[in-house]
Amino acid sequence: MRKPQYAEVMYLDFNGFFASCSQFAHPHLRGKPVGIVPHEGNGNTCIIACSAEAKKFGVQNVMPLPLVRRLCPEIILWPQEVDLYRRAHNYLMAEVESAIPIDAVKSIDELCSVISDDDRKDPTRLGREIKRRLLNEVGPWITCSIGFAPNRLLAKIACKDGGKDGLNVWQPEHVPAFLSHILLKDIPGIGPGTLKRLYQARIGTTDCLRNAAPKHLRQIWGNVAGERMSYAINGFDIKAQPTARSQYGHGRVLPPAFRSLEACRHVTRILAVKAARRMRRDHWSSSKLILGLSGYFGGHWSRGHHMAAVCDDMGVLEALERLWFQAMRELPPGIVILKADVSLDDLSLTAQRQLDFLADDEHVRRRQEAITEALDALNRRYGSTVVTVGPWSNPAADRLGAKISFTRIPRREDAW
SS3 annotation, the chain: CCCCCCCCEEEEEECCHHHHHHHHHCHHHCCCCEEEECCCCCCCCEECEECHHHHCCCCCCCEEHHHHHHHCCCCEEEECCHHHHHHHHHHHHHHHHCCCCCCEEEECCEEEEECCHHHHCCHHHHHHHHHHHHHHHHCCCCCEEEEEECCHHHHHHHHHHCCECCEEECCHHHHHHHHCCCCHHHCCCCCHHHHHHHHHCCCCCHHHHHHCCHHHHHHHHCCHHHHHHHHHHCCCCCCCCCCCCCCEEEEEECCHHHCCHHHHHHHHHHHHHHHHHHHHHCCEEEEEEEEEEEECCCEEEEEEEEEEEECCHHHHHHHHHHHHHHHHHHCCCCCCEEEEEEEEEEEEEHHHCCCCCCCCCHHHHHHHHHHHHHHHHHHHHHCCCCCCCCCCCCCCCCCCCCCCCCCCCCCHHHHC
With beta carbons less than 8 A apart as the criterion, state whether 345 and 247 touch. Answer: yes
Domain parsing of the chain, residue ranges: 1-172, 180-243, 248-415
Amino acid occupying residue 154: L
Options 3.10.20.600, 1.10.150.20, 1.20.200.10, 1.10.3720.10; CATH of 180-243: 1.10.150.20
pLDDT of residue 42: 54
With beta carbons less than 8 A apart as the criterion, state whether 368 and 389 touch. Answer: no
Q: CA–CA separation, 240 vs 216, rounded Å?
A: 21
Domain 248-415 has CATH 2.30.40.10: no
List Cβ neighbours of 137 (8 Å cut-off, separation of 6 or more): 95
pLDDT of residue 408: 65
- Burial code (b: 16+ CB inside 10 Å, e: under 16) for 313-341 equals bbbbbbbbeebbeebeeeeeeebebbbbb
* pLDDT tens per residue across all 416 residues of the chain: 789 999 999 999 999 999 999 999 999 999 999 999 877 665 567 888 999 999 999 999 889 899 999 999 999 999 888 889 989 999 999 999 999 999 999 889 999 999 999 889 899 999 999 999 999 998 899 999 999 999 999 999 999 997 778 999 999 999 999 999 999 999 999 999 999 999 999 999 999 999 999 999 999 999 999 999 999 999 999 877 767 778 999 888 888 888 899 999 999 999 999 999 999 999 999 999 999 999 865 688 999 999 988 999 999 999 999 999 999 999 888 888 988 999 999 999 988 877 665 556 677 888 898 999 999 999 988 888 888 888 887 665 455 545 556 566 777 777 66
pLDDT of residue 397: 43
Tell me, which fold does domain 1-172 have in CATH? Alpha-Beta Plaits (3.30.70)
pTM: 0.80
